[in-house]
Amino acid sequence: MSTGWLDDDTALFVRYGDAFVPRRREQLDIVCDLLGELPRPVVLELGCGDGRLTERLLGRLPEVRVTAVDASARMLRLARIRLAGFAERVALRRVGMEEDGALRRVGMEEDGALRRVGMEEDGALCRVGMEEGGALCRVGGEEDGAPGGGPYGAVVTSLAVHHLDDRAKQALYRRVRAALAPGGAFVMADLVSPVGPAPLALAAARWDAEVAAADPAATLPFESARWNTFRFPDPVDRPTGVGEHLTWLARAGFADADVCWLYAGHAVFHSRRPGRSEETA
């Protein structure tokens, strides 16, 4: 399944992303705040882009190692530059949401160190799609059904899942849960669909206002690109309502699914895989 994301979108987002995403720094800080006591200090980030959230995670959580995946080789090259100071704690992988095996679990503890992949070496890059089961596949690790659960203490994602259709979102949630260790957290910052005309109009207006307030120079490119999907629906964007997300997370077996932040049609969700004692009760 193609997300329809183009190179021009990448260039525009890299340049103006801090303005195009309402209160972006606040969102990233909240994601980090929600990763308190993790059962394992190993985090998977889905759709890392140029590494803004990855950088914040590694800076805020010094004990954590991160595997960060994205479909775009260009984004990953930028991420590698941004994350050069964290080379021993981060692994970058090329992963496309539209390809098979998207949630592939990557082994990170082999050889006693976190393996880093050179983004310019196409032959070394793993090509899998985020909504498929293989994306959380780990080399030599536990299977999804094993009593110990998956290898990750947390899975995080920002502005990626809304590119999937509803069926793929639900499949993703099931696989994310399987990839988490018992007690592990799933934190998602993403675009959501307001319900009804009045909330939709409010979200659209607040989004426009936030862009202008964050960087007046970003207003013209934001409007020219018709980036506000609440005003200009785009098949690339497939946001879902908050209620649907919470229902699907619960059905996938997550506990305590909740919305921790919501503004201008953007939300931060938190849920967790139940602890081992809860799963066996």
Q: What is the pLDDT of residues 70-113, one digit of tens each?
A: 988 999 999 999 999 999 999 999 976 545 444 555 544 433 33
Q: Residue 5 above 70 pLDDT?
A: no
Confidence at residue 136, expressed as pLDDT on a 0 to 100 scale: 55
Please answer whether residues 55 and 85 qualify as being in contact, where contact means their C-beta atoms are separated by less than 8 angstroms.
no
Burial class of residue 216 (count of CB atoms within 10 Å of its CB; 0-12, 13-18, 19+): exposed
Average pLDDT on 147-160 reads 85
| Residues 94, 195: Cα–Cα separation, whole Å | 34
Question: pLDDT, tens digit, for every residue of 176-190?
Answer: 999 999 999 999 999
Please answer whether residues 193 and 239 qualify as being in contact, where contact means their C-beta atoms are separated by less than 8 angstroms.
yes
Q: How many CA atoms lie within 13 A of 31 on its CB side?
A: 30
**Dihedral sign, CA of 129, 95, 164, 253?**
positive
| Span between the terminal Cα atoms of the chain, in Å | 39
Confidence at residue 207, expressed as pLDDT on a 0 to 100 scale: 98
Question: pLDDT, tens digit, for every residue of 197-232?
Answer: 999 999 999 999 999 999 999 999 999 999 999 999
| Residues 97, 274: Cα–Cα separation, whole Å | 26
Which residues have CB under 8 Å from 23's CB, separation 6+? 210, 263, 264, 266
Burial class of residue 146 (count of CB atoms within 10 Å of its CB; 0-12, 13-18, 19+): exposed
Q: Are strands 180-191 and 152-158 parallel, antiparallel or unpaired?
A: parallel
Question: pLDDT, tens digit, for every residue of 103-125?
Answer: 555 544 433 333 444 333 333 33
